[in-house]
Chains A and B, each alone.
Chain A
Amino acid sequence: EAGVAQSPRYKIIEKRQSVAFWCNPISGHATLYWYQQILGQGPKLLIQFQNNGVVDDSQLPKDRFSAERLKGVDSTLKIQPAKLEDSAVYLCASSPFGGKSSYEQYFGPGTRLTVT
């Protein structure tokens, strides 16, 4: 079974530039999450999708971050304009919908963003 795919793996941009990350979840997984993990911290949820609908985006800085999940499969996370404090690893995770199996989240390898 293929895992969660993310690209790019690394990105370096200057502040005020824009950047986009892509995630392809495990086939058939209805729930998709984007997390931000700052060095030395645990992941922080940015946004959760159920199919192509947003379930939770309470911690997403909406003035600069946006995310979409068209057709309920792939997802993109965009930052515009980037700030120095956005330097972090952006993790995508997916989970099946319904039942105890929905407890499990499967993480991708992450995209390491450096803002200079």
Chain B
Amino acid sequence: KNQVEQSPQSLIILEGKNCTLQCNYTVSPFSNLRWYKQDTGRGPVSLTIMTFSENTKSNGRYTATLDADTKQSSLHITASQLSDSASYICVGSGYSTLTFGKGTMLLVSP
């Protein structure tokens, strides 16, 4: 059964600090690994998509890494801003299906 596990479940950091969110996935066959940001009351918005041959991908202050051997991914947020407060969802994609994690709820405090 395909699974995506995220940690921590929630996180509070001070504005300006960095943080790293973790994702472990079991998806077979595997096509790509995605990170989405979901603001409260909004739909998810794509941050990065990485295939198994990509180790890292950046989108502004967001940097995702992928280790296809250990089936782990991380999302690093640099110099956090209040607007980064949201749920961050890791998604493992097979050739025709997506497996969503439960998300990490991030709160950036002033």
Contacts and interface: CB of A to CB of B under 8 A. Distances in A.
A56 B34 CA distance: 21
Interface string B94-105: 001110111100
Given A93-B43, A104-B46, A110-B43, A40 B100 contact: no
A42 B43 contact: no
Contact of A56 (B4, B32, B96, B102): B96
B22 to A, nearest CB: 15
A109 B43 contact: yes
B93 A107 contact: no
A45 B89 CA distance: 15
A46 B29 CA distance: 21
B41 interface: yes
Contact of A43 (B31, B42, B44, B49): B44
B82 interface: no
Contacts, number: 43
B34 to A, nearest CB: 8
A97 to B, nearest CB: 13
Given A91-B43, A109-B42, A109-B43, A103 B102 contact: no
B45 interface: yes
Interface in A59-104: 91, 93, 103-104
B102 A109 contact: no
A4 interface: yes
B49 A104 contact: yes
Interface of A: 4, 40-45, 55-56, 91, 93, 103-110, 112
Interface of B: 4, 31-32, 34, 41-46, 49, 89, 91, 93, 96-98, 100-103
What are the nearest 7 A-B pairs in CB distance? A42-B100, A107-B43, A107-B44, A42-B102, A108-B43, A43-B100, A109-B43
13 contacts: A40-B102, A42-B4, A42-B89, A42-B91, A42-B103, A45-B97, A45-B98, A91-B43, A107-B43, A107-B45, A108-B43, A109-B41, A112-B41
